[in-house]
Amino acid sequence: MEKSVVFNGKLLPYLLLAPQLAITLIFFYWPASQAIWQSFLREDAFGLNSEFVGLENYQALFAQPEYYTAIGTTVVFSSLVTVLSLGVALLFATQADKNLKGASAYKTLMIWPYAVAPAIAGVLWFFIFHPTLGTLARPLRVMGFNWNPMLDGTHAMILVVMAAVWKQVAYNFLFFLAGLQAIPKSVIEAGAIDGAGPLRRFWTIIFPLLSPTTFFLLVVNIVYVFFETFGIIDAVTAGGPAGSTTTMVYKVFADGRLGGDLGGSAAQSVVLMVIVIALTAIQFRYVERKVQY
């Protein structure tokens, strides 16, 4: 797509582009290239000297058992959050797609959690499941369940997953509902005439027709779990107990700040960049239509 009628201008287009390009170069390309450069350096503890060490930071990184633990945690965390939030959202969206009275009120009541900051979502869930003062932790203990997300890694993981899902369902719900409403009613009626019941119609007609939406959401959700859940993890568990909720992104933060290992942290950043670029490439490969250049 190109405009056939355009303006002539020698200087003006550059002036119009200048603010965005300047900000992008200063706050984006410069730091990103620094991250790549730093991943080949080793700095002393005071940041005074640095020497070029080639791939040593990467070798050290991949020799670290903790890094594989973090990768494992990230895989577990992102698959749980993605599958649960997509599943729950699809359930609600199919229900909201029936011509109900008050459907728009339900929609509003479903989507507002999107606006809650991840860190605050984390604090809310931490509060209701707090081992000593949580409203829902008490019934758990009464039932004889020794609930303590501050000491037990699995409990901590369950808690951050719940908070992350709670926040993400709204987004998925909105897109699933739009996707469902875009399916022509005639197709579903045709299925019904052929004698397919509601469940059969869902799995053989609706679900396949919804797959572009599902695929798009899958990629978006993975990116969400990777990056935006940082606030939830930091507010609820700070990566603990004993590193059991330290995801790859959290480790970049923790190693660089608390450990002061900037080279290692930068190497992890580069690994993450590669992952995000791959995800985005997949997204554009299959969900093309955003850009044709």
Partner 1 sequence: MVEHRPLRDLVAYIVLSLGVLIFAFPVYVAFIASTYDAATVVSGNLPLTPGGRMLENYYRAVFVGGSRFMNQPVGVLLLNSFVTAIGIAVGKILISILSAFAIVYFRFPFRKTAFWIIFITLMLPVEVRIYPTYKVVADLRMLDTYAGLILPLIASATGTLLFRQFFMTVPDELLEASRIDGAGPLRFFWDTLLPLSMTTVAALFVIQFIYGWNQYLWPLLITTKDSMQTIVIGIKKMLTTTDELAEWQLAMATAVLAMLPPVAVVVFMQRLFVKGLVETEK
The footprint of partner 1 on residues 171-190 (CB under 8 A) is: 171, 174-175, 178, 185, 188-189
Q: Give 28-36's long-range contacts (Cβ < 8 A, gap of 24+).
A: 32/273, 34/266, 35/266, 35/269, 35/270, 35/273, 36/266, 36/270
Q: Report the alpha-carbon distance of residue 249 to residue 242 in Å, rounded.
A: 16
Q: Report the alpha-carbon distance of residue 77 to residue 86 in Å, rounded.
A: 14
Residues 200-239 that bind partner 1 (CB under 8 A): 201, 216, 220, 223, 227, 230-231, 234-235
Task: Sketch the per residue contact string, 43 through 72, with partner 1: x for CB under 8 A, - otherwise.
Answer: ------------------------------
**Sign of CA pseudo-dihedral 56, 62, 66, 71:** positive
Neighbouring C-beta atoms of residue 227, cutoff 10 Å: 14
What is the closest distance, in whole angstroms, from the C-beta atom of residue 114 to partner 1 in the complex? 6
**Sign of CA pseudo-dihedral 86, 87, 89, 93:** positive
What is the closest distance, in whole angstroms, from the C-beta atom of residue 34 to partner 1 in the complex? 4
Query: Which CB atom, from 35 or from 161, has the smaller least distance to partner 1?
Result: 35
Place of tokens 């480790």: 251
Supply 113's token pair. 């959690």
Query: Which CB atom, from 38 or from 244, has the smaller least distance to partner 1?
Result: 38
Residues 26-45 that bind partner 1 (CB under 8 A): 26-32, 34-35, 38
Q: Report the alpha-carbon distance of residue 59 to residue 79 in Å, rounded.
A: 27
What is the closest distance, in whole angstroms, from the C-beta atom of residue 7 to partner 1 in the complex? 4
Task: Sketch the per residue contact string, 135 through 164, with partner 1: x for CB under 8 A, - otherwise.
Answer: x-xx--------------------------
Task: Sketch the per residue contact string, 73 through 92, with partner 1: x for CB under 8 A, - otherwise.
Answer: ---------------x--xx
Q: Report the alpha-carbon distance of residue 95 to residue 128 in Å, rounded.
A: 28
42 - beta bridge partners? 51
What is the closest distance, in whole angstroms, from the C-beta atom of residue 76 to partner 1 in the complex? 19
Task: State which of residues 3, 143, 144, 199 lies at the interface with partner 1 (CB under 8 A).
Answer: 3
Told to check if 113 binds partner 1 by CB under 8 A, we report yes
Told to check if 240 binds partner 1 by CB under 8 A, we report no
